[in-house]
């Protein structure tokens, strides 16, 4: 196997532009064994589109990647047992209990609420010539919506926000230190969620948390640990990835003004534009890891049983065997079979919601601020240290409002 030198896959420098490295990996070492941290086992990186799709669909690649972390104590494992870390039939059971809240019809019913949140946030920022777009806009939009769906009380949202931020950062990181630093926040968040569950048992409400507490499918209920893990997952996955979709989407469109104008002037392109941003910017760069249940051969490489496998969605989304001229942004791209939401039984439960939030947030942003531009040099932007996600730490912009 060719030796390829490249930056750490979770480093901010790599995140700034990972695609030249992925291009070389796809050409010279499409199944590439490396290490992302000294405390983690070696991981096999899958980079070609067809191979990525195969791994995402193949049951020999288990989602129960906690098997690769025997040092995690049993008391903590229960907190990580959720839709991202289990296989059928448990995955099928849990997904069936929560997916009713994410049907396209119900999500479309949130359009007015999302639009109102976007308008209100931009009203508050409208008098400022320069704003930091993530904290001001990209973060509050999805966080408010998922909090609404779950029924998190308004007065508590500032309180639990820092906890979810710390836990989300650790969950996307390859650093053991980030994980250890996040444990107090995870403990507080878990305690808070258990308190909300107790309140919903005593006084049910018309929200997703109550639905999970009372969920029953074929006579089977969720355990309290499953409910806690599910709610934390929904809080994190329900906003963290969409933050980066909105922020990276705004950056991408500022850097491609002609494509931004096409999207704004042609409403019929707005859905395809979001899919193209999902492909081009790939906010979720790696799917959650898999573990091989047996030896699996892909091409000329055999991945041994028990190996940790990383599926590079970002690389697959830039594979020129699937996407002609992949480094060009084309908001009218068709077909566009990107894998940003995964594929198979673990296809992202919140894909419809993320698309809708991205569409409304970005079209509203550029309608309100048609002259929006970066307030700093693109080379000075800081990218998050993360393996799973590709996102900015902050996005200073000039609104052109003054």
Are residues 246 and 358 in contact, defined by beta-carbon separation less than 8 angstroms? yes
CA distance 363 to 380: 26
Q: CA dist 2 to 50, 199, 266, 315, Å?
A: 21, 57, 46, 18
For residue 90, pLDDT over 60 is answered with yes
Structure tokens at 149: 């769906």
Q: What is the DSSP letter of 296?
A: E
> Which whole number is the average pLDDT over 58-70?
81
- Give the count of alpha carbons within 13 A of 23, CB side only: 10
CA distance 217 to 211: 12
> Which whole number is the average pLDDT over 131-136?
96
Q: CA dist 105 to 6, 255, 345, 349, Å?
A: 45, 34, 21, 14
Q: CA dist 279 to 66, 69, 74, 322, 392, Å?
A: 28, 31, 37, 12, 17
Residues 258-310: tens digit of each pLDDT: 999 999 999 999 999 999 999 999 999 999 899 999 999 999 999 999 999 99
For residue 141, pLDDT over 90 is answered with yes
Residues 6+ apart with CB under 8 A from 103: 352
**For position 3, what pLDDT does the model report?**
60
User: 10 Å Cβ neighbour count for 41?
Assistant: 14
The C-alpha R_g of the chain, in whole angstroms, comes to 21
Domains of the chain in start order, with CATH, are 19-322+339-398 (1.10.630.10)
Residues 4-36: tens digit of each pLDDT: 666 688 889 999 999 999 999 999 999 999 987
Are residues 290 and 47 in contact, defined by beta-carbon separation less than 8 angstroms? no
**For position 381, what pLDDT does the model report?**
97
What angle separates helix 270-281 from helix 240-255, to the nearest 10 degrees?
A: 100
Q: CA dist 170 to 29, 227, 288, 333, 356, Å?
A: 29, 21, 13, 34, 27
With a threshold of 0.85, does the pTM exceed it?
yes
CA 12 to chain centre: 17
Per-residue pLDDT band for 329 (boundaries 50, 70, 90) equals very high
DSSP class per residue in 205-265: -SSHHHHHHH--BTTB---HHHHHHHHHHHHHHTTHHHHHHHHHHHHHHHH-HHHHHHHHH
Identify the weakest region by mean pLDDT among 104-113, 193-202, 228-237. 228-237
> Which whole number is the average pLDDT over 114-134?
93
Backbone angles phi, psi at 132, to 5 degrees: -95, 110
Q: CA dist 238 to 1, 150, 332, 398, Å?
A: 39, 10, 27, 28
> Which whole number is the average pLDDT over 347-368?
96
Per-residue pLDDT band for 158 (boundaries 50, 70, 90) equals confident
């Amino acid at each position: 196997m060719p030796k390829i030198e490249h930056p750490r896959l979770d480093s901010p420098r790599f995140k700034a532009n990972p695609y030249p490295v992925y291009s070389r990996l796809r050409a010279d070492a499409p199944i590439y064994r490396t290490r992302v941290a000294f405390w983690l086992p070696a991981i096999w990186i899958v980079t070609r589109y067809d191979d990525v799709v195969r791994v995402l669909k193949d049951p020999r690649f288990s989602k129960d990647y906690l098997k690769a972390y025997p040092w995690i104590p049993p008391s903590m494992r229960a907190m990580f047992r959720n839709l991202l870390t289990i296989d059928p039939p448990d995955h099928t059971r849990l997904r069936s209990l929560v997916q009713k809240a994410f049907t396209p019809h119900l999500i479309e019913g949130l359009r007015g609420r999302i639009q109102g949140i976007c308008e209100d946030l931009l009203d508050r920022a409208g008098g400022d010539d320069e704003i930091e777009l993530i904290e001001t806009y990209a973060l509050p939009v999805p966080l408010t919506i998922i909090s609404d769906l779950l029924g998190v009380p308004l007065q508590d949202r500032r309180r639990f926000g820092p906890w979810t931020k710390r836990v989300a950062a650790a969950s996307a990181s390859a650093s053991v230190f980030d994980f250890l630093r996040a444990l107090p926040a995870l403990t507080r968040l878990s305690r808070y969620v258990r308190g909300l569950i107790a309140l919903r048992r005593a006084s049910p409400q018309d929200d997703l948390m109550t639905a999970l507490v009372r969920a029953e499918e074929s006579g089977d209920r969720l355990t309290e640990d499953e409910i806690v893990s599910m709610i934390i997952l929904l809080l994190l996955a329900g906003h963290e990835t969409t933050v980066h979709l909105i922020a990276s989407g705004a950056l991408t469109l500022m850097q491609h003004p002609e494509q931004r104008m096409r999207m704004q002037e042609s409403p019929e392109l707005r859905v395809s534009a979001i899919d193209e941003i999902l492909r081009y910017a790939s906010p979720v760069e790696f799917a959650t890891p898999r573990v091989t249940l047996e030896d699996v051969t892909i091409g000329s490489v055999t991945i041994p049983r028990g190996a940790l496998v990383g599926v590079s969605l970002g690389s697959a989304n830039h594979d020129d065997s699937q996407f002609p001229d992949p480094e060009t942004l084309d908001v009218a791209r068709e077909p566009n079979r990107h894998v940003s939401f995964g594929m198979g039984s673990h296809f992202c439960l919140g894909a419809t919601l993320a698309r809708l939030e991205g569409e409304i947030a970005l079209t509203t942003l550029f309608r309100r601020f048609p002259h929006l531009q970066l307030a700093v040099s693109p080379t000075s932007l800081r990218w998050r240290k993360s393996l799973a996600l590709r996102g900015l730490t902050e996005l200073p912009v000039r609104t052109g409002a003054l």
